[in-house]
Amino acid sequence: MTSSGLQPELFENANAALEQALDYPKFRYMGSKHKLLPWIYNNLSDLKFDTVLDGFSGSGAVSYLFKAMGKKVISNDFLNFPAIITKATCENSDTTLDEKDVDHILKNNPGKDNFIKQTFEGIFFTKEDLEFLDLAYWNISKLNNEYKKALALTCLFRSCLKKQPRGVFTVSGDLSNYNDGRRDLKISLKTHFLEQIKIFNSLVFSNGKNHFSVSGDIFEININEKIDLVYFDPPYVPNSDDNCYTKRYHFLEGLSKYWKDEEILYDTKVKKIKKKYTPFSYRSQAIEAFDNLFYKFKNSIIVLSYSDNGFPDLEIIQEILSKYKSEINVIKKPHRYHFGNHAAVKRSEVEEYLIIGK
């Protein structure tokens, strides 16, 4: 099965492009920019650029927005599972999952591994759900198309996020205190998965450009072409709590590769994996990291998503960016984040910044 292919009307009509982007499903992902897509679009649509790097792609929503705008998109994240998401939704331009693929994923396979059930029983999900994840991953790994694999894994990721209370993997065991009666918490992961296939199949389209999705250190990424604009939404150090995406989404990161080459911390209650290093997580390194980041991409338009609860503060960010850009524009917007933190916590209410350096 393929999508309808090239849809040029998206890129000729601003409303159509934004509507396409807003069809992108919401991931329960810390710092997600999904609700800010119209704001981001309105402030970037007048800039002249054809090729864009989304350096910290996260949920993939902004990468998908750029694709809907008709741009050539390179997506990167230091975690593996976000790169799989953008491979499925951005790099992929014409491949979907058909009934034969679904039958293959769901068929019984006595030879499958039982690692997930053995490792996470009593921690996350029911026994039946864990058995389904083992079966689904095993069969997905046998698909002979990289985009079908990416799509199917993306459907698994969102299924797990929807069924896990608060959308993070830091709580375990008796989750009755988090059960607010939502359907998402009641239905099986298999049912979630089948519903997600329909959703993600509908997202697949071509804008006539070749896109790329990679996973790696932003400072080591090598791109052999001119990048007109770079968009950064890094895991900057908040003034309270922490910004550890590995801690919150370790289960999805492990699932993305069936925990191959991951060091599992078996002494932790939720069987976390070893934290992935990024200098943006440390106050002692964050200022230098931003300086290095802006220097590396000084020949591109630099767009930074940031907020007033981050370290370093806006004044320092502007000072660093001014070393490489003569014109800096800061657009501000009140915003509330709901995923990753309790909504009632004051830190979830922020002033969001879009910092543009030209």
In a domain, 183, yes or no: yes
In a domain, 2, yes or no: no
| Gap between the Cα atoms of 73 and 61, Å rounded | 12
- Residue ranges of the chain whose pLDDT lies below 70: 1-14, 173-180, 238-242, 337-348
What pLDDT is recorded for position 147? 98
Say how many domains are in the chain: 1
Both tokens of 29, joined, read: 């992902």
What pLDDT is recorded for position 349? 77
What pLDDT is recorded for position 29? 84
In a domain, 349, yes or no: yes
Q: Say which residues have a Cβ less than 8 Å from residue 212's Cβ, sequence separation at least 6.
A: 73, 74, 75, 91
Q: Can you list the alpha helix ranges (DSSP code H) found in the chain?
A: 9-12, 14-22, 37-44, 61-68, 80-86, 99-106, 115-120, 127-140, 146-163, 183-186, 189-201, 245-255, 283-296, 314-321
pLDDT per residue over 51-100, tens digit each? 999 999 999 999 999 999 999 999 999 999 999 999 999 999 999 999 99
What pLDDT is recorded for position 12? 57
Write out the residue range of the structural domain in which residue 258 sits. 9-357
Is the CB of residue 105 less than 8 Å from the CB of residue 152? Answer: yes
In a domain, 1, yes or no: no
pLDDT per residue over 111-125, tens digit each? 889 999 999 999 999
What pLDDT is recorded for position 309? 85
Q: Say which residues have a Cβ less than 8 Å from residue 310's Cβ, sequence separation at least 6.
A: 236, 237, 238, 239
In a domain, 3, yes or no: no
In a domain, 71, yes or no: yes
| Gap between the Cα atoms of 164 and 175, Å rounded | 9
| CATH code (residue 226) | 3.40.50.150
